[in-house]
């Protein structure tokens, strides 16, 4: 299954809300004394199925893992002194509370640890972090690697997507799951998907899962080469909505310059003929 936050739903409250990837936020979750790192696909794709962070190492079954938080980097640390509690959900049905907790996994697999804070006056805990933890049968185990190939980037027709180049050296791949970035999902080694013809681009994520439950994720950024010709207005709107902040700044500067030039042209002709 695709990972989803099941327990750590954000409650409706006036308390300070923070996530592992708020702008300027330093990492605050540690495993065995090492900070977790940003999951490579999270900042790149638009997919909501991915974790925030990944564990600093790959662990073997039955390894004792020490989970903790750095209160100096955690903006809600002051609340812990007034009755708030940190909740850890380990992705295998087990959970614990506290600043420092321990857990081990008897079975191999890819687990997402959900870290949340529960305030005494809130009905639901507030999610803080989602950490992907790889637990392998042995130290020499090779994680599966997802690979996407696609021959076309025009959205005038369905796009063929191929995951057959994905590899798994230690175990057979048993599942290919796709997130097309537009709310639609797919399954299979090869899939075909029709994207909106006026969309400027799309981020497609492939997740492969091996027989031991270990996963590998990758993505492909598809750019619609025909949208600006067939649907210029919709293409511009889509580009603005999905572009990164630096791209938006550049685009706003270009549009501002174009508007200024048009104003000068109009003023010139008005002055000349009137």
Please give the average pLDDT of every successive group of 10 residues along the chain, which has 274 residues.
30 38 78 92 66 95 97 79 89 96 98 93 87 97 96 83 96 96 92 87 92 95 67 52 54 69 73 65
Task: Give the orientation angle of helix 232-242 with respect to helix 245-273, to 10 degrees.
Answer: 140
pLDDT at position 5 is 27
Provide the token pair at 51: 């974790």
Q: What domains does the chain contain, in order, with CATH numbers?
A: 29-136 (2.60.40.10), 159-229 (2.60.40.10)
DSSP letter (8 states) at residue 149: B
- pTM equals 0.74
The CA–CA distances, whole Å, from 50 to 25, 53, 203 equal 19, 9, 13
pLDDT at position 98 is 94
Paired with 190 in beta bridges are 162
User: What are the two backbone dihedrals, phi and then psi, of residue 179, each rounded to the nearest 5 degrees?
Assistant: -120, 115
pLDDT at position 12 is 25
Instruction: Summarize pLDDT for 122-171 with one digit per residue, the tens.
Output: 788 889 999 999 999 999 999 999 999 988 777 888 999 999 999 999 99
Instruction: Summarize pLDDT for 79-94 with one digit per residue, the tens.
Output: 776 788 999 999 999 9
pLDDT at position 76 is 76
Residue with tokens 């974790």: 51
pLDDT at position 197 is 82
Number of other residues whose CB lies within 10 A of the CB of residue 151: 8
pLDDT at position 124 is 85
Provide the token pair at 94: 């087990």
d(CA 224, CA 214): 33
pLDDT at position 240 is 52
Provide the token pair at 135: 């637990």
pLDDT at position 83 is 81
């Amino acid at each position: 299954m695709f990972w989803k936050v099941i327990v750590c739903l954000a409650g409706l409250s006036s308390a300070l809300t923070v996530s592992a990837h708020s702008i300027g936020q330093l990492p605050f979750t540690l495993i065995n004394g090492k900070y977790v790192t940003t999951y490579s696909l999270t900042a790149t794709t638009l997919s909501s199925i991915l974790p925030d962070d990944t564990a600093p190492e790959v662990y073997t079954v039955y390894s004792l893992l020490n989970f903790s938080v750095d209160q100096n980097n955690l903006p809600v640390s002051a609340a812990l002194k007034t009755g708030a509690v940190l909740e850890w959900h380990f992705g295998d049905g087990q959970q614990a509370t506290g600043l420092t907790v321990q857990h081990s996994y008897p079975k191999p697999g890819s687990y997402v640890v959900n870290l949340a804070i529960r305030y005494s006056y809130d009905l639901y805990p507030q999610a803080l972090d989602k950490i992907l933890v790889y637990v392998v049968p042995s130290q020499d185990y090779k994680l599966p690697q997802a690979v996407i190939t696609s021959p076309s980037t025009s959205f005038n027709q369905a796009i063929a997507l191929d995951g057959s180049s994905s590899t798994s050296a230690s175990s057979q791949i048993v599942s290919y799951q796709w997130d097309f970035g537009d709310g639609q999902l797919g399954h299979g080694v090869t899939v075909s998907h029709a994207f909106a013809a006026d969309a400027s681009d799309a981020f497609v994520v492939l997740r492969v899962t091996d027989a031991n439950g270990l996963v590998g994720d990758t993505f492909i950024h598809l750019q619609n080469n025909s949208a600006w010709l067939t649907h210029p207005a919709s293409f511009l709107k889509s580009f603005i909505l999905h572009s990164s902040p630096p791209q938006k700044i550049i685009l706003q500067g270009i549009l501002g310059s174009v508007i200024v030039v048009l104003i000068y042209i109009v003023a010139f002709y008005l002055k000349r003929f009137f």
